[in-house]
Structure 1
Amino acid sequence: MAVMEIRPVGSSALLIEVDDPLAWFAALDAERAAGRLAVTDIVPGARTVLLDGVPSPASLAASLRSWPTPSFARFYGDKLAIPVVFDGPDLAAVAEMTGSSVEVLVRTLTETTLTVAFGGFAPGFAYLSGLPWTIPRRESPRPRVPAGSVALAAEYAGIYPTASPGGWQLIGHTDTALFDIDRDPPALLTPGRTVRLAVA
């Protein structure tokens, strides 16, 4: 399916609704890298891609409507292994939700390749797609989730870069720094990056 809807955002941005945001992000980013697309930022979301810094939004919108649907997403960099201690307070409950034991749950997670679909919620927080299950959020969010907490919710895995409230199911923790203002880019997990959770 091609672009489903295109909406202007302010005077120099477009929000496009697409069926596969990560594939569109990769295709648009490749066009930008080749000098054929003049945009400042390309930001994928759960169902959309934002194009910012667009010199002529109306012209680009007309062009995008004729683009073919990208057939694949380009992945960025080597697969990143993130060491995790699987000791989260919701680990046993999540195993029960998936109909498996804790041992099987951890083995499945560590054998699954996850992909950074998009970022949001907090600087450095990445929504990792590729889980073999859909996990419900907690009925009551926690007022404070510790930094480094590894969590699952809906079809995503995520790692809290800083302490914050949160309603995801906590399955473990990592000491990996997800956001460093002195790093380029500051976020360790950027769209298109593949990730593996490894037993620490």
Structure 2
Amino acid sequence: MRVLRCGRRAALVELDDLDAVGRLHAALRAHPLPGVDELVPAARTLLIHYDPAVTDHTRLAAALAALPAAEAARTERAGVLVPVRYDGEDLDEVAHRTGLTPAEVVDRHTAATYRVAFCGFAPGFAYLTGLDPVLRLPRRTSPRTRVPAGSLAVAGEFTGIYPRESPGGWHLLGSTDFPLWNPSADPPTRLTPGTTVRFLPLEAPQR
């Protein structure tokens, strides 16, 4: 773990992998450090905002190094169930490339329990880990210029839902009307880091 300065009010913690980020993020949520007012996880880093009137980089780095290993165990927030229509443009292609039928792709995708690792790309876009290894495919070689809002997609080790229409290179499995972003709400999204997610098919897939 490396703790780097990031201006006067933040530190950037570099970690070995996504799982290490999740453990540290969970530990700091469960045991907040004095002066820390915001945590922003990413794939290999955790950005920690703090109040310089309460703490500083040296004290924060020392507190992070002193976190007991037992307190770094990952905890999960209450789960969210997302209803999905598995009608995506790439469902048949994903089935072909994985050696499965479309129904088997849906079965594997809905069998998993996912966890929000971090958010990014667009407001409300959550990167969900827990994807069945058989369904892990690289991004499309030719990204689409338009992906409809609510599209459920996979790429690499992640599953995600596009919160609004945008370009995108992930494989589209389905669609949902689940509300992903409401700037008037607190928090503006239910898919915050640490939240567990399950997908519920709205219709039985064709066998």
- Do both share a fold (TM > 0.5)? yes
Alpha-carbon distance change, 146 to 14 in structure 1, aligned in 2, over 3 angstroms: same
Query: 1:115-134 counterparts in 2 under 5 A?
Result: 115-133=115-133, 134=136
Unaligned stretches of 5+ in structure 1? none
Query: Which residue of the partner structure matches residue 195 of structure 2?
Result: 193
Structure 1 CA distance for aligned equivalents of residues 192 and 122 of structure 2:
13
Kindly indicate whether the alpha-carbon contact (under 8 Å) linking 1:28 and 1:37 is maintained by their aligned counterparts in 2.
Answer: no
Q: Is the 8 A contact 1:31 1:37 kept in 2?
A: no
Amino acid at match of 1:26: A
Partner of 1:48: 45
SS in 2 for 1:64: helix
Structure 1 distance, partners of 2:73, 2:91, is: 33
State the Cα deviation string for residues 22-62 of structure 1 (Å, max 9, x = none): 11111011112xxx432110111111111012421121112
How do 1:165-184 and structure 2 match up within 5 A? 165-184=167-186
1:155-181 CA-partner distances (Å, limit 9, x unpaired): 000000000111111111001110011
Identical residues among aligned pairs (%): 46
State the TM-score, normalizing by the size of structure 1. 0.92
Number of aligned pairs? 193
Task: Describe the SS at the equivalent of 2:115.
Answer: strand
Find runs of 4+ consecutive structure 1 residues off by over 3 angstroms: 68-71
Helix, strand or coil at the partner of 2:159: strand
TM-score (norm 2): 0.89
What is aligned with 1:142?
Answer: 144
**1:128-167: CA deviation from partner (whole Å, max 9, x where unpaired):** 0001222210001111110000000110000000001111
Asked if the contact 1:5–1:17 (Cα under 8 Å) also holds between the matched residues in 2, the reply is yes
Counterpart of 1:12 (choices 3, 9, 24) is 9
Structure 2 unmatched ranges of 5 or more: 203-207
| Counterparts in 2 of 1:54 and 1:17: CA distance versus 1, 3 Å | farther
RMSD: 1.3
Write the letter of the residue equivalent to 1:76. R
- Distance change >3 Å, CA 71–CA 26, structure 1 → 2: closer
Using the TM superposition, give the Cα deviation of residue 94 of structure 1 relative to its aligned residue in structure 2, in angstroms. Answer: 1.2
Contact 1:129 1:157 in 2 (8 A): yes
* C-alpha distance in 1 between matches for 2:38 and 2:137: 32
Letter in 1 for 2:172: L
